[in-house]
């Protein structure tokens, strides 16, 4: 429920990024310029104007006066920067509708300026407001337009570089909201490279915070903690109160995930006062929500509920949709812990109604569990009454009846045991095969795979890439239909298996921005329509090649699936990738705080053994570690040999 918090705190940095960053740069160009002097000179430097207006950025009266004077002399740069500063003030006081209205006016003025910095700044800042109010598509459109303007200008000055970094960081945060961590990490890395190049400590701190959010989501808690601590250290250097609040809350959340609730509470509690001093309701809602979470983990339910309800009131008043949902979720957990399943269910429904679609499946399962537990609690008294009545009836039975009943029961149990023992040997193989097939289907129909595939397609829709969205949606539907159809069959033709694997690779390749080159080579002497193999037998090997071999590799990514004829009675199937190799993959896996053990290969081996155990001819499965002349790993090759003669005899 809480995995997006790190993302949201990461996004909060952007609220002050542009204007804080430009301050030092602009001070190199101007000192003590008054607003009247600016208007009389009609300066066109964005950084100079932004610095000059910094002393009055929280004085709405002075800003309105400056805007009015600029308009009276058609000074578009002054009008735009003044409206931009005014919109920031309303945004930071949580008056988002008013802020959006002013930004739209500021953009119109910026379009009349010769310097694109004014429009780029307005677009990026407007994108921040949209992200705060969960209007993801509008936010993405504004940040992408800002980036396009900077790229088209081909400028390489410091302010242009900062604008690039801001846009990429913002786009990365939106990808996080859409649960696309790989795409987000790419944007953050580019942003970090720019910030290091120009020596911007605030920008570096922001990107460390973002990267920590990604690591936390992947379960790499120690790695996330290091990123957050690096961000905090940089914020201490630049003396940013906002940065301290964000970083300490993020570190506190890692402690909560590690089960260190007391340590988390000690870190989060002081940030509440700091957030109140900042005066931004968004930060205040965030810190109070985290405080309630920590107290909930310590089972201090009354105190936890008080903080959560305070945060909920703030969130509802200022239309902070994310924190409305989060606080309903926490109230559901509190009531569940107290045994109030009816109230827990009601709050869970409120949480569900306010949450984004990508958590629907998880919430449905949780809601169903609450419904069952609530119904159980509701009927508890009736069950206890029936049990007492049964006890009274049993006490009235005489000894002979008890002995007779016991004898009948014992005889029945013995009969059942003998029958089970008789049938067990006969059904053992069938049960093992059925179990393996069902487990393999669940593995292939992994909810994360389905969810990530649909999210990737949704991203094409959001980016208005309709042709790609339709193309991959067709591929995805064919793959799901193929998996469901093949799961009902013990074996299928090799032709059908290879077609399904091509669909699978097409869908998985979306996550890698279509950077994986997949090659299918079949010996012309092989009639794939006449050879049968166990259904979905190749999928686990392709999945391993992608996620353990290629996901951590940079540069060219290749997967080759080849089918060769050994002789008239055997074929050989090879799946070769140019990934990081099995040894390096194991090292990366061991470094993760939370590891998920894949069972696909084990299940495949068991299926092969059961499939061929009663047939003549032998099969084999082996792995070959590929290395270059210096002994460095260059990939992995899976070699599967199957007896054709006996496969071709099996009836579908």
Q: Which segment, 6-15, 204-213, 313-322, is predicted with the most confidence on average?
A: 204-213
**What pLDDT, in 10s, does the model give residues 26-41?**
443 433 347 788 888 8
What's the pLDDT at 598?
A: 52
**What single-letter DSSP state applies at residue 56?**
G
Please name which of 537, 557, 562, 556 lies closest in space to residue 547, comparing C-alpha atoms.
557
Alpha carbon separation from 512 to 507, 526, 543, 554, 557 (Å, rounded): 10, 32, 13, 11, 10
Which of the 8 DSSP states describes residue 497?
A: H
CA angle 220, 223, 225 (to 5 degrees): 105
Other C-beta atoms lying within 10 Å of the C-beta of residue 430: 10
Q: How many CB atoms lie within 10 A of CB 283?
A: 25
Averaged pLDDT for residues 118-128: 91
Ramachandran angles phi, psi of 576, nearest 5°: -115, 135
> Which pLDDT band holds residue 599 (cuts at 50, 70, 90)?
low
Contacts of 19 (CB under 8 A, 6+ apart): 50, 54, 57, 85, 88
pLDDT at 440 over 60: no
The more confident residue out of 565 and 374 is 565
Quick check: 546 and 615 in contact, CB under 8 A?
no
The CA distances from residue 284 to 254, 272, 281, 378, in Å, are 19, 7, 5, 38
Separation CA 569–CA 150 (nearest Å): 63
Distance CA 57, CA 66 (A): 11
- Mean pLDDT (whole number) for 435-462: 65
Query: Which SS3 state, helix, strand or coil, does residue 439 take?
Result: helix
For 229-240, write each residue's pLDDT tens digit: 999 999 999 898
Q: Mean pLDDT over all residues of the chain?
A: 79
372-407 pLDDT, tens digit per residue, is 443 454 455 455 655 666 666 666 666 667 777 777
Per-residue confidence (pLDDT) for residue 320, from 0 to 100: 79
Of 149 and 358, the one with more pLDDT: 149
pTM as predicted: 0.46
What pLDDT digit, counting tens, does each position of 271-287 carry? 888 888 887 788 888 89
Q: How far is CA 234 from CA 10, 202, 206, 243, 252, in A?
A: 14, 7, 9, 9, 18
Q: What is the pLDDT of residue 284?
A: 87
- d(Cα 563, Cα 538) in Å, to the nearest integer? 12
Query: Which tokens belong to 39?
Result: 């208007």
Angle at 92 between CA 86 and CA 94, to 5 degrees: 105
Is the four-CA dihedral 196, 201, 203, 206 of positive or negative sign?
positive
pLDDT number for residue 240: 87
Question: 271-282 burial string, b = 16+ CB within 10 Å, else e?
Answer: bbebbeebebbb
Find all residues with CB under 8 Å of 613, minimum gap 6, and list them.
Answer: 429
State how far the Cα of 327 lies from the Cα of 305, in Å rounded to an integer.
9
Q: How far apart are CA 446 and CA 455, in angstroms?
A: 14
Q: Which SS3 state, helix, strand or coil, does residue 199 take?
A: coil
How many whole angstroms separate alpha carbon 534 and alpha carbon 423?
26
pLDDT tens, 426-437?
Answer: 566 555 555 555
In tens, the pLDDT along 335-359 reads 988 888 888 888 888 887 776 543 4
Domains and CATH numbers, the chain: 1-238 (1.25.40.10), 259-374 (1.25.40.10), 434-647 (3.30.565.10)
Per-residue model confidence (pLDDT) at position 21: 46
C-beta separation of 573 from 562 below 8 A: yes
Each residue of 44-76: pLDDT tens digit?
888 888 888 888 888 889 999 999 999 999 999
560 φ, ψ to 5°?
-120, 125
Furthest-apart CA pair in the chain: how many Å? 113
Helix axes 158-177, 181-198, angle to 10 degrees: 160
Q: Give the C-alpha separation, 352 to 350, whole Å.
A: 5
Q: Over 60: is that where the pLDDT of 366 sits?
A: no
> Which of the pair, 37 or 559, is modelled with greater confidence?
559
Local structure of 206: helix, strand or coil:
helix
Mean pLDDT of 577-594: 77
Q: Taking a C-beta distance cutoff of 8 angstroms, is the pair 441, 487 a contact?
A: yes
Question: What residues form DSSP beta bridges with 575?
Answer: 561, 638
**Torsion, CA 157, CA 161, CA 166, CA 172, rounded to 10:** 160
User: 466-521, pLDDT tens digit by residue?
Assistant: 887 888 888 888 888 877 776 667 778 888 889 988 888 888 888 778 889 999 99
The backbone torsions φ and ψ at residue 20, rounded to the nearest 5 degrees and listed phi first, read -70, -40
> Does pLDDT of 102 surpass 90?
yes
Is residue 161 within 8 Å of 200, Cβ to Cβ?
A: no
Strand 516-522 versus strand 557-567 pairing type: parallel
Q: Report the share of the chain in percent with pLDDT over 70.
A: 79
Cα gap 224→263, rounded to integer Å: 17
């Amino acid at each position: 429920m809480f995995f997006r918090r790190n993302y949201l705190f990461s996004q909060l940095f952007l609220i002050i990024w542009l204007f804080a960053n430009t301050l030092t740069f602009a001070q190199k160009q101007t000192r003590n310029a008054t607003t009247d002097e600016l208007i009389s000179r009609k300066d066109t430097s964005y950084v100079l104007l932004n610095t000059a207006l910094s002393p009055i950025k929280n004085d709405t009266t002075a800003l309105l006066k400056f805007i009015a004077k600029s308009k009276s002399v058609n000074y578009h740069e002054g009008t735009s920067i003044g409206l931009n500063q005014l919109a920031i003030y309303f945004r930071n006081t949580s008056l988002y509708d008013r802020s959006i209205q002013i930004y739209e006016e500021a953009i119109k003025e910026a379009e009349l300026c010769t310097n694109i910095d004014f429009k780029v700044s307005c677009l990026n800042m407007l994108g921040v407001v949209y992200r705060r109010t969960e209007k993801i598509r509008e936010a993405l459109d504004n940040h992408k337009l800002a980036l396009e303007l900077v790229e088209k200008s081909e400028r390489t000055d410091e302010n242009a570089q900062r604008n690039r970094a801001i846009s990429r960081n913002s786009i990365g945060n939106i990808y996080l909201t859409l649960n696309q961590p790989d795409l987000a990490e790419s944007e953050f890395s580019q942003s970090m490279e720019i910030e290091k190049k120009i020596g911007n400590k605030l920008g570096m701190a922001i990107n460390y915070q973002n990267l920590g959010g990604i690591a936390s989501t992947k379960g790499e808690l120690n790695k996330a903690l290091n990123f957050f601590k690096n961000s905090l250290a940089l914020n201490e250097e630049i003396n940013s109160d906002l940065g301290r609040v964000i970083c300490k809350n993020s570190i506190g959340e890692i402690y909560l995930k590690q089960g260190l609730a007391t340590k988390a509470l000690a870190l989060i509690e002081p940030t509440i006062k700091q957030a109140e001093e900042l005066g931004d309701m968004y930060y205040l809602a965030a810190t109070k929500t985290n405080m309630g979470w920590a107290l909930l983990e310590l089972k201090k339910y009354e105190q936890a509920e008080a903080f959560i309800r305070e945060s909920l009131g703030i969130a509802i008043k200022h239309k902070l949709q994310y924190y409305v949902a989060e606080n309903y979720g926490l109230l559901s957990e509190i009531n569940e812990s107290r045994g109030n399943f009816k109230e827990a269910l009601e709050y869970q429904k409120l949480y569900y109604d306010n949450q984004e679609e990508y958590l629907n499946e998880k919430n449905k399962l949780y809601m169903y569990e609450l419904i069952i537990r609530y119904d159980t609690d509701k009927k508890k008294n009736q069950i206890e009454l029936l049990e007492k009545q049964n006890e009274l009836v049993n006490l009235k039975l005489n000894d002979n009846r008890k002995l007779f009943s016991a004898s009948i029961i014992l005889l029945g149990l013995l009969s059942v045991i003998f029958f089970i023992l008789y049938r067990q040997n006969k059904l053992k193989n069938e049960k093992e095969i059925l179990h393996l097939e069902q487990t393999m289907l669940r593995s292939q129909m992994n909810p994360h795979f389905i969810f990530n595939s649909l999210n990737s397609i949704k991203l094409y829709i959001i980016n208005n890439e309709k042709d790609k969205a339709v193309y991959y949606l067709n591929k995805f539907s064919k793959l799901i239909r193929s998996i469901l159809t093949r799961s009902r069959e013990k074996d299928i033709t090799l032709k059908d298996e290879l077609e399904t694997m091509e669909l699978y690779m097409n869908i998985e390749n979306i996550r890698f921005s279509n950077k994986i080159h997949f090659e299918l080579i079949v010996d012309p002497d092989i009639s794939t329509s006449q050879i049968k193999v166990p259904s979905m037998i190749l999928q686990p090997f392709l999945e391993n090649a992608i996620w353990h071999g290629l996901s951590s590799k940079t540069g060219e990514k290749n997967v080759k699936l080849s089918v060769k004829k050994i002789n008239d009675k055997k074929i050989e199937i090879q799946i070769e990738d140019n990934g990081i190799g099995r040894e390096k993959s194991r090292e990366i896996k061991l470094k993760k705080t939370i590891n998920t053990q894949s069972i696909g290969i084990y299940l495949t081996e068991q299926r092969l053994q059961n499939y061929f155990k009663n047939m003549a001819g032998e099969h084999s499965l082996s792995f070959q570690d590929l290395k270059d002349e210096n002994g460095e790993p260059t990939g992995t090759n899976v070699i599967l040999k199957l007896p054709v003669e006996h496969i071709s005899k099996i009836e579908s």
